[in-house]
Amino acid sequence: MDFLRVKKVKSLRFRKLYADLITEEGTVCIVYQSWFDGLGLHRAYGAIELYWAEGKREVIRASIPLEPPDLGEIGSELEFCLYLPEGQFVLHYEVETGPWDPPDPFPCDGLHWAVKVAKANATGHWLGDNNRPELHGTGYADWVELNCGLRGLGLRSVDWGRMHFPDETIIFNVIHFRSGEKWKQMAQWFLDGKMKASSSFRIGRWNDSFNLYLSDQSAESESSVTIQPVRMLHSGRAIDARRFPNSLERRIVQTITGPIEETRWLSQATRQNGQRLRRGWTLHDWILFGLNSE
């Protein structure tokens, strides 16, 4: 089993790095790295998920675990490396905007989510396989840290998304709890360097389309973004056989996380600003936890 060994720990701790790249053609590359300490175990996980523009999905597990990166100071450039069976993969960022820590209070005790890179010019290099194409596009990265069991957080669902327009970047995150409470935060970055954070927004759904309303108002004139899915990247168990092919490892992870269902889309976002109609790629997830996903 990859990266699994016994280690005595005093408390549970889970850390996860998410970093992505979307090409102009619609290929999506996602880098995952995570570290779990708890239940007498220490486990590191690394993988690349590729959703090619023509519809193919690949999951490539890392062969060598890495230590968590130092993301305390984000400079103008940033790199994430994974050692794959076919050689090293490097995701290089030329950072344009970010980072961003949502304001207190955090959604619940023991959970912290922060944007590390809101937007970057991104390049994916395959150092061990010359047959794979170099990837170029826009990138985004965030960080999640848990200091308690996921099952004990009382999560019901999460709506998360990031979108890039030529002159604006928008990141949103909405967490619903089984208690009926809700935590939501959105941030916008503009070409002039200004950034705006708000919790006054809402998401509307109908049929296969979405609208991100940038305020809680119901007036027809309120500012909004139309999100039209281009293709569904993944729908089903988040802890599946593609990501965790070893059945014992998969059962261990499912025991830690509980049942989780994920739906991920690559969408085209359109935003009207006066006479100008702007378009950009959107990557967004809808995640269901616990009994809601069974």
Tell me if 99 sits within 8 A of 118, measured CB to CB.
Answer: yes
**Whole-number pLDDT of residue 192:** 87
**Higher-pLDDT residue of 220, 24:** 24
The predicted-structure confidence for 214-236, as pLDDT tens digits, reads as follows: 875 554 545 889 999 999 999 99
Q: What would the mean pLDDT of 149-170 be, rounded to a whole number? A: 89
Could you please report the per-residue DSSP string of 71-111? -SS--SEEEEEEEETTEEEEEEEEEEE--B-PPSSPSSTTE
Tell me if 51 sits within 8 A of 266, measured CB to CB.
Answer: yes
Q: How confident is the model at residue 275 (pLDDT cuts 50, 70, 90)?
A: low
**Whole-number pLDDT of residue 9:** 36
Q: What is the 3-state secondary structure (H, E, C) of 237-266?
A: ECCCCCCCCCHHHHHHHHHHHCCEEEEEEE
CA-nearest of 224, 233, 226 to 210 is 226
Strand intervals (E) in the chain: 4-6, 13-22, 28-38, 41-51, 57-61, 77-84, 87-97, 111-126, 135-146, 155-165, 168-177, 182-190, 195-198, 202-206, 209-213, 224-237, 260-273, 276-289
Local structure of 219: helix, strand or coil: coil
Amino acid occupying residue 274: G
**Whole-number pLDDT of residue 159:** 95
**Whole-number pLDDT of residue 222:** 58
**Higher-pLDDT residue of 64, 21:** 21
**Higher-pLDDT residue of 249, 184:** 184
Q: What would the mean pLDDT of 55-62 be, rounded to a whole number? A: 94
**Whole-number pLDDT of residue 26:** 96
Distance between CA atoms of residues 71 and 78, nearest Å: 9
Distance from CA of residue 110 to its chain's centroid?
A: 19
**Whole-number pLDDT of residue 280:** 94
Percent of the chain with pLDDT over 90: 54
The predicted-structure confidence for 78-115, as pLDDT tens digits, reads as follows: 999 999 998 999 999 999 998 999 987 777 778 889 99
**Whole-number pLDDT of residue 8:** 34
**Higher-pLDDT residue of 263, 223:** 263
For 91-103, b/e burial (b = at least 16 CB within 10 A) is bbbebbbbbbebe
Distance from CA of residue 10 to its chain's centroid?
A: 28
The predicted-structure confidence for 33-44, as pLDDT tens digits, reads as follows: 988 887 677 888
Q: What would the mean pLDDT of 122-141 be, rounded to a whole number? A: 94
Give the global pTM: 0.89
7: pLDDT strictly greater than 70: no
**Whole-number pLDDT of residue 139:** 97
